Amino acid sequence: MAGHGGGTLAFWLVVVLAIRALLPGRDRTNPAGDRPDPLTLLKEGLARGEVTPEEYEQRRRLIVDGH
């Protein structure tokens, strides 16, 4: 009896996960949701005066080019 209940639970879990995977609307590339990307944070830091233009350009190159 316990095996039958576990199988039923597993079946419905697979059904629910399959439906969630097919539904649009959720951005699965950014699981954090509203967290901005690093370049946006860097631009905001420059606007607030937290980094100099030289630091901004150096860090931007690291983010965009990787070096």
- The answer to whether residue 60 is domain-embedded is yes
> Given this model, what pLDDT does residue 49 score?
94
> Given this model, what pLDDT does residue 47 score?
95
- The answer to whether residue 45 is domain-embedded is yes
Task: For residue 42, give its domain range.
Answer: 2-26+36-65
> Given this model, what pLDDT does residue 23 score?
82
- The answer to whether residue 41 is domain-embedded is yes
pLDDT digits (tens, 9 = 90+) for 29-60: 555 567 789 999 999 999 999 999 999 999 99
- The answer to whether residue 52 is domain-embedded is yes
CB contact set of 36 (below 8 Å; sequence gap of 6+): 44
Residue 1 has pLDDT above 80, yes or no: no
**Number of structural domains the chain divides into:** 1
pTM here? 0.48
- The answer to whether residue 17 is domain-embedded is yes
- The answer to whether residue 31 is domain-embedded is no
Instruction: Retrieve residue 62's tokens.
Output: 């690291």
